[in-house]
Structure 1
């Protein structure tokens, strides 16, 4: 959605907001409460500071500016170590089964012409073993995960040349997304990779890769990894299948949305869920798990995330208010609609003014 020309008054407000954010970032010790308040209103695109603001909001950068260089060097070095362990360039040996968890050279003396003596094959190493410790089973699961990551990365925002296309730049960006998701999956065995995580990673990497500071832009992959981990730490219950039906799982989150809508517009909630039987899981599952990345154009997503990341308790509560506001903004069409028309409307949300959407969401306190 193309942005409309700014009025002199709105342009003046934008300049004022930009100067306030720059002033907040220039302090020796960042006041996070002040920064959250400013960022929640949107980070001006022209300021060139969104990358720094997001890193602060996600706790990746410490409040003390004097520690930034040291902390960044440590984290970036740690990420390189993760790459060395989990993304080896060779095929065979430890590389195919996940670094240090793979085979060692301990059986090398028993190998002749590339084959192991049958007597030397442990039960858990048998190709047909279904045991969790089976190297063959681990290899199969790892390969399946890699294939899923590859498919999803290639489908990430196909309309944006940054992510898609034949250019070396786009392919390099795809490689970075792939690396981050694979390393995350290897380090988080309880969740591994869940389809759609690529969509949550994409805005982070886009913002960091476009940092005006070339040094920071060159380390966008490492910075995105740690910020991605931090962001998902507050959302992991939505991705854990074992918690789906629990109070903290995705169904519990959807129930909170239903209750929030009932609080602010009981008539709409009743019409949707009782009269037309359009329950939140039919449309809001994607809204919530993917942080609205599929509902709006990419520029609008970035502005929505300014607000989401500003919540000191994590994005979930703010996200629910935005989802509720989305329903309220199309209230007239929903009240007049039936199951089919309402479902179609909510599964393909119409273009809207993001500033107005966030304004309405902010009123739902």
Structure 2
């Protein structure tokens, strides 16, 4: 899934060794259902998680933290950034290790960025004219601060299709950058944080661009896929707005690490070659259909008779983790729940998607194909707590317990 064998120059041997480390798998802690049939907690949250000192313990009770987030109790709390890092496995449960791990991981990100994105742009060792570089010939639309210009040797030329050609790699990078640059301005343009109307918001978009480009270069088999910017946005927003200004200043590095972990749960959904495999998007859509059938046979039968298939409305729900279906502040609450689920992000995501169908059952049962498709492609406003409550009450389908683990792949051990 991830490129672990990318060859880097000897001068960056440490980075090369880093990319070659073995995979690790993140399994959230937990066991039984966190909410009973009446929507009440089945386990009491320890006292340390009931107030603002919940993260002050030497060893964090991750299970209790999952419980807290799952119940939707993070809204308005200043520690959401830290809690998300814990839930994604970026921070260890031993609080004394946080500083050491953060420093180590941020240095690693800086090394990768230096090697793959921001090497000095001018290395004209033989005093060539600036116009001889591929960057210059492609025009100024290419960001001069990104990607390195390396001396052209061994007869390399712009028409070369060799995988070792510097020009060939350059043009591939240009294409990725252009794709990212088309998508970034569409990332929640109604929110000042992401809009390009101010120098600060422009810096935010530049940081997100670095993350997406670095991910694409490290994973050429996947590259950049439209919509990845939407998956990055909540992470970067939460980390950049961390009340702890020191942590906020490292939002780019922290977001990259957590972005890798988040995508490890659903990377196969972005790989077209795996669309019809057991871990591909069509298999996941089938699981959603089976989950609805197990919980509301009448609604499932009605949609099936009308041929309102999940492919027509839930493809975007699942691949973009519902980031396009709700207002931005709702997305924060939904992701609290997704990240805290002890069976993984995909299990809770399918529950929420199924709950979305159940919550508009009345409208769907009286609608035809066109009206139902319009409703589901433009999902109406809904009470978030009620939606999540319904999601927790759903009975898993017979195939769901196995499927929820299939997309939980290993995580690149760039970050412990």
TM-score (structure 1 length as normaliser): 0.85
Q: Does 1:305 align with 2:353?
A: no
Find 1:69's aligned residue among 86, 91, 99: 99
Q: Does 1:221 align with 2:252?
A: yes
| CA contact 2:118–2:148 (8 Å) conserved in 1 | no
The CA deviation string for residues 49-103 of structure 1, in whole angstroms up to 9 with x for no partner, is 0001000000000010000000000111111112211222654769979x9x977
Q: How does 1:348-359 map to 2 (within 5 A)?
A: 348-359=378-389
Aligned partner of 1:314 in structure 2 is: 344
Aligned partner of 1:333 in structure 2 is: 363
The CA deviation at 1:140 is 1.9
Find 2:323's aligned residue among 275, 279, 293: 293
How far apart in 1 are the matches of 2:148 and 2:189?
35
Aligned partner of 1:60 in structure 2 is: 90
| CA contact 1:24–1:31 (8 Å) conserved in 2 | no
How far apart in 2 are the matches of 1:45 and 1:214?
20
| CA contact 1:96–1:102 (8 Å) conserved in 2 | no
How far apart in 2 are the matches of 1:44 and 1:259?
31
Number of residue-to-residue matches in the alignment: 332
How far apart in 1 are the matches of 2:308 and 2:48?
42
How far apart in 2 are the matches of 1:102 and 1:237?
30
The CA deviation at 1:141 is 1.6
Aligned partner of 2:172 in structure 1 is: 141
Q: Residues 105 and 151 (structure 1 numbering): CA distance in 2 closer, same or farther, change over 3 Å?
A: closer
How far apart in 2 are the matches of 1:131 and 1:311?
45
Q: Residues 21 and 291 (structure 1 numbering): CA distance in 2 closer, same or farther, change over 3 Å?
A: farther
Q: Does 1:180 align with 2:206?
A: no
SS of aligned partner of 1:24: coil
Q: Residues 17 and 184 (structure 1 numbering): CA distance in 2 closer, same or farther, change over 3 Å?
A: farther
| CA contact 2:306–2:369 (8 Å) conserved in 1 | yes
How far apart in 2 are the matches of 1:106 and 1:142?
16
Aligned partner of 1:159 in structure 2 is: 190
Find 1:346's aligned residue among 376, 381, 403: 376
| CA contact 2:121–2:148 (8 Å) conserved in 1 | no
Q: How does 1:186-225 map to 2 (within 5 A)?
A: 186-225=217-256
| CA contact 1:102–1:135 (8 Å) conserved in 2 | no
Structure 2's unaligned 5+ residue stretches are 1-45, 125-132, 136-144, 396-416
How far apart in 2 are the matches of 1:236 and 1:104?
32
The CA deviation at 1:313 is 3.4
| CA contact 2:185–2:196 (8 Å) conserved in 1 | no
The CA deviation at 1:234 is 1.1
Aligned partner of 2:273 in structure 1 is: 242
SS of aligned partner of 1:281: helix
Structure 1's unaligned 5+ residue stretches are 1-15, 108-119
Q: Residues 80 and 105 (structure 1 numbering): CA distance in 2 closer, same or farther, change over 3 Å?
A: same
Aligned partner of 1:257 in structure 2 is: 288
Aligned partner of 1:361 in structure 2 is: 391
The CA deviation string for residues 278-307 of structure 1, in whole angstroms up to 9 with x for no partner, is 110100000000000000000000000000
How far apart in 2 are the matches of 1:290 and 1:103?
34
**Structure showing the higher helix proportion among its residues:** 1
| CA contact 2:308–2:373 (8 Å) conserved in 1 | yes
Q: How does 1:14-93 map to 2 (within 5 A)?
A: 20=50, 22-88=52-118, 90-91=120-121
Larger RCO of the pair (alpha carbons < 8 Å, separation 6+): 2
Q: Does 1:150 align with 2:174?
A: no
| CA contact 1:153–1:174 (8 Å) conserved in 2 | yes
How far apart in 2 are the matches of 1:96 and 1:204?
34
How far apart in 2 are the matches of 1:256 and 1:93?
53
